[in-house]
């Protein structure tokens, strides 16, 4: 986690209940589609020096972070949470298809990818409140989402879909 990210998450955790609720209500919305209260709260938390093209992604993470209680601490990377829930059968097989569709979607100004991501995060929140997400890592992933190398999508696919090899499979 960078110093800017750490400052950002500390500021988010210090917000009052009403301010966190304003951000929580905007989960799944882009910054330019949000109400004035959420925008003002977001800019109170956003550190200086963040590029304008990154602000939507920082805003998305702020809103998603506010779905969990303040001070939930460092969590587990989202792709590992999904993998664990799928392997424990807490998520249905259709969730795998939802993840596949998400991996094929670019982050664009229309907010379509954000809506898919938010629905997935809310499902995870519903299934596993006890397991907070590593939002700093999610922010890094969103910032690299549109990379031509698709390193984020490959990282997620590997964590979610790669099956562990058993000793018997290795022998054959």
- How confident is the model over 57-67, as pLDDT tens digits? 999 999 999 99
Q: Is 169 helix (H, G, I), strand (E, B) or coil?
A: helix
What pLDDT, on the 0 to 100 scale, is given for residue 73? 65
What pLDDT, on the 0 to 100 scale, is given for residue 171? 54
CB of 80 closer than 8 Å to CB of 159: yes
What pLDDT, on the 0 to 100 scale, is given for residue 168? 47
108: left (phi over 0), alpha (psi -120 to 50) or beta: beta
- Specify if 169 maps to a domain: no
Q: Is 76 helix (H, G, I), strand (E, B) or coil?
A: strand
CATH number, domain with residue 19: 1.10.520.40
Residue 161 to residues 31, 75, 85, 153, Cα–Cα distance (Å) = 32, 21, 12, 11
- Specify if 80 maps to a domain: yes
Neighbours of 133 (CB within 10 A): 26
Q: What is the mean pLDDT of the segment spanning 90-118?
A: 93
- How confident is the model over 132-154, as pLDDT tens digits? 899 999 999 999 999 999 999 99
Output 26 or 72, whichever has higher pLDDT.
26
Q: Is 133 helix (H, G, I), strand (E, B) or coil?
A: strand
- Specify if 16 maps to a domain: yes
Residue 164: pLDDT band by 50, 70, 90 thresholds? low
- Specify if 100 maps to a domain: yes
pLDDT of residue 170 exceeding 80: no
- Specify if 72 maps to a domain: yes
- Specify if 172 maps to a domain: no
Euclidean distance between CA atoms 151 and 61, whole angstroms? 19
Give the domain extent around 152.
3-164
| Total tally of structural domains belonging to the chain | 1
């Amino acid at each position: 986690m960078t110093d800017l990210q750490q400052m950002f998450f500390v500021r988010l955790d210090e917000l009052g209940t009403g301010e966190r609720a304003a951000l929580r209500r905007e989960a799944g919305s882009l910054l330019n589609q949000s109400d004035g209260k959420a925008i003002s709260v977001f800019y109170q938390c956003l550190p200086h020096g963040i590029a304008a093209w990154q602000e939507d992604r920082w805003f998305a993470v702020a809103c998603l972070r506010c779905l969990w209680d303040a001070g939930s601490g460092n969590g587990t990377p989202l792709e590992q949470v999904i993998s664990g829930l799928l392997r424990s059968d807490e998520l249905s097989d259709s969730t795998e298809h939802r993840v596949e569709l998400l991996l094929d979607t670019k982050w664009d100004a229309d907010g379509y990818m954000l809506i898919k991501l938010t629905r997935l995060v809310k499902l995870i929140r519903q299934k596993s409140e006890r397991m907070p997400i590593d939002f700093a890592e999610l922010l890094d992933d969103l910032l690299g989402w549109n990379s031509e190398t698709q390193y984020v999508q490959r990282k997620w696919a590997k964590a979610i879909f790669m099956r562990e090899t058993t000793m018997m499979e290795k022998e054959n």
